[in-house]
């Protein structure tokens, strides 16, 4: 059926697969070194409130600047990290950096921005995953309510028996759970109904050119109202055009993320953006004070 063939087609064009086993082996060797030498950084893509246009938080995205290959895409190295078990250490490194950064920004700017961190199914292989996250929160001083765990359907079908327990426990501690890439899986709807997600992220494949395709627009409108009906927050991913943004606003989507609004930014660039935002807010709130 249509959904199945769509998924198969997407997999054929995975860049990582096209490059073959040699490439993969090279990545594996280099990734080991990259982990040891702390070569993998994190960039931050702002997530905006559709209504106010203000930054609500960020998604942490792994970035590898390889000494010889240059930029290596997470689409290439995350799957290798998953298959080799390196994702555990890598995931911990990214979690630490992202939490530390979020705490630093919130302190410095007196803000309540949140941080979304992607967590792979393979990271749930370790029953200690929650202990590790709690430890990271403690070490960085970030409150649990500022951390959002992004998981995909693959986590739920991974078969690890403790997944539900870990998610429930994480929520009890104040973290939020986001269902990432919503709509791309096989049975997204049943997962949406059966697991206690706080946020649904509508995949960018639905957002792309939604203004030009009425049936796509219908799907997105339905996804948004479905999520809202279940009292979930909604984020649209991959917004590249103002027309897409306008549609999402009309459909009542709460939050937006995409190149139109901001690319993922280096920590320095993100800090600069936050500084300039604060300046605007300060100027607006005290128009009579000439010092600002």
Binding footprint of Mg ion on the chain (CB under 5 A): 118, 150, 180-181, 237
Pairing relationship of beta strands 176-182 and 114-118 according to DSSP bridges? unpaired
Count of chain residues binding ligand C2E (CB under 6 A): 25
Cα–Cα distances in angstroms (integers) from residue 250 to residues 11, 141, 257, in the given order: 33, 38, 16
The helix/strand/coil state of 12 is helix
Instruction: Return the range that interacts with ligand C2E (CB under 6 A); candidates 5-13, 117-125, 219-227, 277-285.
Output: 117-125
CA-based angle 75:58:277, to the nearest 5? Answer: 135
147 binds ligand C2E (CB under 6 A): no
How many angstroms separate the CA atoms of 285 and 289, rounded? 10
Give the torsion sign (CA, 269, 116, 203, 18). positive
State yes or no: residue 258 binds ligand C2E (CB under 6 A): yes
Contact 171, 198 (CB under 8 A): yes
Tell me the closest approach of the beta carbon of residue 279 to ligand C2E, in angstroms.
25
Parallel, antiparallel or unpaired: strands 176-182 and 199-202: parallel
118 binds ligand C2E (CB under 6 A): yes
238 binds, among ligand C2E, Mg ion, none (CB under 5 to 8 A by kind): ligand C2E
Confirm or reject binding of residue 73 to ligand C2E (CB under 6 A): yes
Q: Counting contacts by CB under 6 A, is residue 46 touching ligand C2E?
A: no
Q: CB nearer to ligand C2E: give 90 or 111.
A: 90
Q: How far is the CB of 118 from Mg ion (least distance, A)?
A: 5
Structure-block tokens of residue 288: 């009579």
Over the window 192 to 211, marking each residue x when it contacts ligand C2E by CB under 6 A and - when it does not, the resulting string is ------------x-------
In the region spanning residues 1 to 40, those forming contacts with ligand C2E, defined by CB under 6 A, are: none
Q: Which is nearer to ligand C2E, 173 or 260 (CB)?
A: 260
DSSP state of 265: B
Q: Is 159 exposed, middle or buried (0-12, 13-18, 19+ CB in 10 A)?
A: exposed
> Using the rule CB under 6 A, is 264 a contact of ligand C2E?
yes
Query: Among 135, 131, 133, which residue's Cα sits nearest to residue 151?
Result: 133
Binding site for ligand C2E (CB under 6 A): 45, 60-62, 73-75, 78, 91, 94, 118-120, 150, 180-181, 204, 237-240, 257-259, 264
């Amino acid at each position: 059926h249509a959904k199945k063939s769509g998924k198969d087609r997407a997999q054929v064009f995975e860049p990582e697969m096209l490059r073959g086993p040699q490439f993969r082996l090279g990545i594996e060797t280099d990734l080991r070194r990259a982990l040891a030498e702390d070569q993998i950084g994190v960039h931050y893509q702002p997530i905006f409130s559709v209504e106010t246009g203000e930054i609500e938080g960020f998604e942490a995205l792994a970035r590898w600047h390889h000494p010889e290959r240059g930029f290596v895409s997470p689409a290439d190295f995350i799957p290798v990290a998953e298959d080799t078990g390196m994702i555990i250490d890598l995931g911990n490194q990214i979690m630490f950096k992202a939490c530390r950064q979020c705490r630093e920004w919130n302190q410095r700017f007196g803000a309540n921005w949140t941080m979304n961190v992607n967590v792979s199914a393979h990271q749930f292989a370790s029953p200690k995953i929650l202990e590790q996250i709690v430890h990271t929160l403690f070490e960085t001083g970030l409150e649990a309510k500022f951390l959002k765990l992004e998981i995909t359907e693959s986590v739920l079908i991974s078969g690890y028996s403790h997944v539900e327990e870990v998610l429930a426990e994480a929520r009890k501690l104040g973290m939020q759970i986001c269902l990432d890439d919503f709509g791309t899986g096989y049975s997204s709807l049943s997962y949406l109904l059966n697991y206690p997600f706080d946020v649904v992220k509508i995949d960018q494949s639905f957002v792309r050119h939604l203004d030009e395709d009425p049936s796509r627009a219908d799907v997105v409108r339905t996804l948004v109202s479905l999520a809202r009906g279940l009292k979930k927050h909604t984020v649209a991913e991959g917004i590249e055009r103002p027309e897409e943004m306008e549609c999402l606003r009309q459909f009542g989507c709460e939050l937006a993320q995409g190149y139109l609004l901001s690319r993922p930014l280096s920590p320095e660039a993100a800090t600069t953006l936050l500084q300039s935002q604060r300046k605007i807010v300060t100027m607006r709130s005290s128009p009579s004070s000439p010092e600002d």
